[in-house]
Amino acid sequence: MTRTWFLHQGRALEVRERRVMTSYQIWIYEDGRPISLHSTVRLVDVTAALAVGVDLLNRAMADAVADVLLGRFAVDEPSSLAAAE
């Protein structure tokens, strides 16, 4: 499993990839728990890109971090997560 940690508005967040059938899901985690699904990348696309030297999975994870940091992707607030459980 690939992981990337970063800070956003005082929160320690993490991006992880999760293999699901024929794709990878890019999730945002906090305190070891998934809080938001960012995107999905098809396994066939990851494999084809690697064949020409492009790490599509790493790009998708970097995009997730950038989207959160630039405000293009909102992560759930901790209080709303507790209420949902």
Q: What is the pLDDT of residue 81?
A: 47
Over 80: is that where the pLDDT of 54 sits? yes
CB atoms within 10 A of CB 60: 21
**Where does the pLDDT of residue 77 fall: very low under 50, low under 70, confident under 90, or very high at 90 and above?**
low
Q: How many domains does the chain have?
A: 1
The answer to whether residue 61 is domain-embedded is yes
**Where does the pLDDT of residue 82 fall: very low under 50, low under 70, confident under 90, or very high at 90 and above?**
very low
Higher pLDDT, 10 or 51: 51
The answer to whether residue 36 is domain-embedded is yes
The answer to whether residue 49 is domain-embedded is yes
The answer to whether residue 84 is domain-embedded is no
Over 70: is that where the pLDDT of 17 sits? yes
**Where does the pLDDT of residue 79 fall: very low under 50, low under 70, confident under 90, or very high at 90 and above?**
very low
The answer to whether residue 85 is domain-embedded is no
First-residue to last-residue Cα distance in the chain: 26
Q: Which of 74, 17, 73 is nearest to 40 (CA)?
A: 17
The answer to whether residue 83 is domain-embedded is no
The pTM assigned to this predicted structure is 0.81
The parent domain of residue 7 ranges over 3-78
